Chains A and B, each alone.
Chain A
Amino acid sequence: MTPTEPTSSRSSPLTRVPRRALARLDAWFDRLYGWRYNPLYQSGTIAVLMLVVLVVTGLYLLLYYRIGAPYASVERIQDQIWAGRWIRAVHRYASDAAMIAIGVHALRMLLRGRSWGPRALAWLSGLGLLALFVFVALTGFVMVWDVQGRLLAMEGARLLDALPIFSEPISRAFSGERSMPGAFFFLNYFLHIALPLGMLLFLYIHVSRLARAKLLPPRRLGWGIVGVLVLLGVVRPAPLPPEADPSVIAHQVPLDWFFAFWVPVTQAVAPGVAWLLAGGLTLALVTIPLWTQPRSGDRPGPSNVEERQCTGCTQCSVDCPYEAITMVTRSDGRIGLVASVDPDLCVSCGICAGSCAPMSVGPPGRTGRDQLAQVRAFLAEKEPGADQVVLVACSRGAGELADMAEFEEALVYPVECIGSLHTSVVEFLVRGGAGGVFVAACPERDCWNREGTKWARERLFADREAELKERVDRARVGFTEAGAAERGGLAEEVRDFTTAVRRLIPPEPEDTVELDLDCDRPVASSVLDPGEADR
């Protein structure tokens, strides 16, 4: 038996090329900003931060906005209100930055296959969030009632008029027969304020299946982005185009392309064609969870629990990044709790397998016991020497080494996710004769399964439950984080680690490695045989 076949090697060619391009970009950004502050990894949290900035700056702008004189009030904000033009600029640029962040976030999720199965809810609610956000932004542009606002309103009305639902053309409202009624601006004002509340609901649904969801980026990155936006606002305040004027044909209207990208398309084609295009795009996006999921035979199954071995320690339930594991009353007659996996929530990340000292839980073929069988076969086949390092690498990141047998003289041992790695595998390798084990994980914020890197590091070096036993010489265990396209840096680290390992006194390989699979975590109300409890 060999280590788990990586899912990455089973991805379609359609996504493989852009995924590799994204990995290269990630690696480049890692080098520039460091993985902790890599904005590409933080795209989702940056989008939320931008929403916070929009709310704060929006509240200030609303103090001075007047429904009865929309354009004049924005002119006043721009020219007379303290810091008005800068705050308006930050408001505008934050919305644009949010669109970029949302685009990057969605693309990452799509290319990395995180859009189907239990993650489909996050994908669909994310689309809902995006649609709502674009609509809210459009109401904001219309509120200004400059030439762009009017153009957006008229294009929207022209599209709606093509639908057989209104008895009179909505476009008439913008003909210039009479002044725009205050009710129109009140409606925009109301929607611009009320709909973001609906976005909160979508955001709640979006992260509802995540444990310990991170909503904001690291503080330094967050303040850095806000600082750049403020600086941009000061250097180039958001322009205020001329007031809407129905007596002239709109020409050279400055558009915010992040939101008005569709205008040139709808202007160029008939409204019916525009609706067909919009419908087709919506259908394609909404059905992504269907056409990106692997065929039924290739879909990894959800984790199973061996109730007989489960001690009810709750660690898998704590570690699961998707809240897919709950503790329920045992059904085997013993007293206490047992882990129960909800297959509708389980993404088969295998992190529970790495968290379970007695190896009772995990996806099919990837439980701790399966991993032990695999590592035994690996040792028997490769017979690593005392001067050789085994490189345990995440197959989705960490240089994408899954297809290689050796890397920088180290034997490659790929795993689906470092978070699913049972520490006994590392112990087995060290005690089985390898000079050292170097664990290469994805960058923490880019873990395919959210918290795999964090939990693996803590299990190896910080005594987190299912920890690497004390008897394993930590000098023989290394750990690093590397993205899929960061082979260069990884190679250097592997070489350094190998050199360090070779300086150590060669270990004596053990013929029979006995492992201690006891759970250190206190077990509430103990898992006792009923008879034993009576005694």
Chain B
Amino acid sequence: MSGVLRVLAATGVTVLVAGLIAVGSSLPPPSEPPSEGLLRLDWRLRGEEAGGCIRPTAEELAELPPHMRNPDACVGGLPPYRLRLWVDDQLALNETVQAGGVRGDRPLTVYDEVPLTPGLRRIRIEFAPDEGASTGADPSERETPETRDRQIRLAAEGEVQLEAGQVILAVRRQDTGALVLRSPVR
């Protein structure tokens, strides 16, 4: 290989590798534009704010180290809730939500994404104690119909004009805790 040819070839290989870096550094994968919108459900419910919280008994408090004896704490968290979502009066989601954590003593958390057909959609959401379901967690066995009645129920209803690729949120208002439908914030 002659000197000039060698330099040309070496330059060509260098440019090729540089081009590979430039292209590979910022290349979208092949995909179709989204044909649907998205309803993102995102909220949490702490035992303390939900009402119907099961408080520790005096014996349970006595078993704890002194600095951990909080009579207002929730023991065993909340019993399960049922999440129902209707889109245009069709039931689109119907599931039980258990309290988080290994012992079920963490808040109830909802995080889900439901694809929706673009257009004017009528949406209704209900989040209420699940009648008849059991938590399986020992402390909640003390649950009574009275405690269950005290538990809060969340609901939202409204019409949204959804475009393909658009995301709508179902979240709780930070001030009132009510469930609302709104656009996400950056």
Chain A residues within 8 Å of B, Cβ to Cβ = 29, 31-33, 92-93, 96-97, 100, 167-169, 171-172, 175-179, 228-229, 231-232, 236, 238-239, 241, 243-249, 251-258, 263-264
Q: Contacts A32-B9, A176-B184 known; list 6 others, CB within 8 Å.
A: A96-B21, A97-B21, A168-B106, A232-B21, A246-B167, A251-B33
Q: How many residues of B contact A (CB 8 A)?
A: 42
With the chains together, A176 CA to B43 CA distance in Å? 12
With the chains together, A31 CA to B8 CA distance in Å? 12
Q: Is residue B96 contacting chain A, with contact meaning CB distance below 8 A? A: no
Question: Inside 8 A of B165's CB, which chain A residues have their CB?
Answer: 248-249, 251
Question: Inside 8 A of B17's CB, which chain A residues have their CB?
Answer: 100
CB-CB under 8 A for A251 and B34, given A100-B21, A177-B42:
yes
Q: Is residue B169 contacting chain A, with contact meaning CB distance below 8 A? A: yes
- The list of the 9 closest CB pairs from A to B, nearest first, reads A176-B184, A167-B100, A246-B184, A167-B106, A175-B42, A32-B10, A252-B28, A254-B26, A169-B111
Contact of B28 among A92, A247, A255 (CB under 8 A): A255
Question: Inside 8 A of A244's CB, which chain B residues have their CB?
Answer: 186
CB of A171 within 8 A of CB of B111, answer yes
With the chains together, A92 CA to B25 CA distance in Å? 8
CB of B31 within 8 A of CB of A256, answer no
B183 nearest in chain A by CB position: A247
Q: Is residue B120 contacting chain A, with contact meaning CB distance below 8 A? A: no
CB-CB under 8 A for A248 and B166, given A228-B18, A232-B18:
yes
Q: Is residue B64 contacting chain A, with contact meaning CB distance below 8 A? A: no
Q: Is residue B38 contacting chain A, with contact meaning CB distance below 8 A? A: yes
CB of B22 within 8 A of CB of A176, answer no
Q: List 13 contacting pairs A-B, 8 Å CB cutoff, sorted by A.
A: A93-B21, A93-B25, A96-B25, A100-B17, A175-B42, A177-B42, A177-B43, A232-B22, A241-B26, A246-B185, A248-B167, A253-B28, A258-B21
The smallest C-beta distance from B34 to any residue of chain A, in angstroms, reads: 4
CB-CB under 8 A for A176 and B185, given A168-B100, A248-B166:
yes
Q: Is residue B1 contacting chain A, with contact meaning CB distance below 8 A? A: yes
Chain B residues within 8 Å of A, Cβ to Cβ = 1, 6, 9-10, 13-14, 17-18, 20-22, 24-29, 31, 33-34, 37-38, 40, 42-44, 100-101, 106-107, 109, 111, 165-167, 169, 171, 174, 183-186
With the chains together, A257 CA to B10 CA distance in Å? 25
CB-CB under 8 A for A176 and B169, given A100-B17, A167-B101, A251-B31:
yes
A256 nearest in chain B by CB position: B25
With the chains together, A48 CA to B33 CA distance in Å? 40
Contact of B186 among A100, A229, A243, A255 (CB under 8 A): A243
Question: Inside 8 A of B29's CB, which chain A residues have their CB?
Answer: 253, 255, 263-264
CB-CB under 8 A for A258 and B25, given A32-B9, A168-B100, A246-B167:
yes
Question: Inside 8 A of A236's CB, which chain B residues have their CB?
Answer: 22
The smallest C-beta distance from B149 to any residue of chain A, in angstroms, reads: 27
CB of A177 within 8 A of CB of B184, answer yes
CB-CB under 8 A for A256 and B167, given A177-B184, A249-B38:
no
CB of B1 within 8 A of CB of A256, answer no
Question: Inside 8 A of A241's CB, which chain B residues have their CB?
Answer: 26
The smallest C-beta distance from B156 to any residue of chain A, in angstroms, reads: 14
Question: Inside 8 A of A32's CB, which chain B residues have their CB?
Answer: 6, 9-10, 13
B10 nearest in chain A by CB position: A32
CB of A256 within 8 A of CB of B24, answer yes
The smallest C-beta distance from B85 to any residue of chain A, in angstroms, reads: 16
The smallest C-beta distance from B162 to any residue of chain A, in angstroms, reads: 11
CB-CB under 8 A for A179 and B25, given A32-B13, A168-B44, A168-B100:
no
Question: Inside 8 A of A93's CB, which chain B residues have their CB?
Answer: 21-22, 25
Question: Inside 8 A of A229's CB, which chain B residues have their CB?
Answer: 18
Contact of B167 among A176, A178, A243 (CB under 8 A): A176
With the chains together, A264 CA to B31 CA distance in Å? 10
CB of B109 within 8 A of CB of A175, answer no
Question: Inside 8 A of A228's CB, which chain B residues have their CB?
Answer: 14, 18
With the chains together, A264 CA to B27 CA distance in Å? 12
CB of B42 within 8 A of CB of A96, answer no
With the chains together, A92 CA to B24 CA distance in Å? 11
CB of A239 within 8 A of CB of B26, answer yes
B165 nearest in chain A by CB position: A249
Question: Inside 8 A of B10's CB, which chain A residues have their CB?
Answer: 32-33
With the chains together, A92 CA to B23 CA distance in Å? 12
Question: Inside 8 A of A243's CB, which chain B residues have their CB?
Answer: 186
The smallest C-beta distance from A507 to any residue of chain B, in angstroms, reads: 37
The smallest C-beta distance from A235 to any residue of chain B, in angstroms, reads: 8
Question: Inside 8 A of A264's CB, which chain B residues have their CB?
Answer: 29
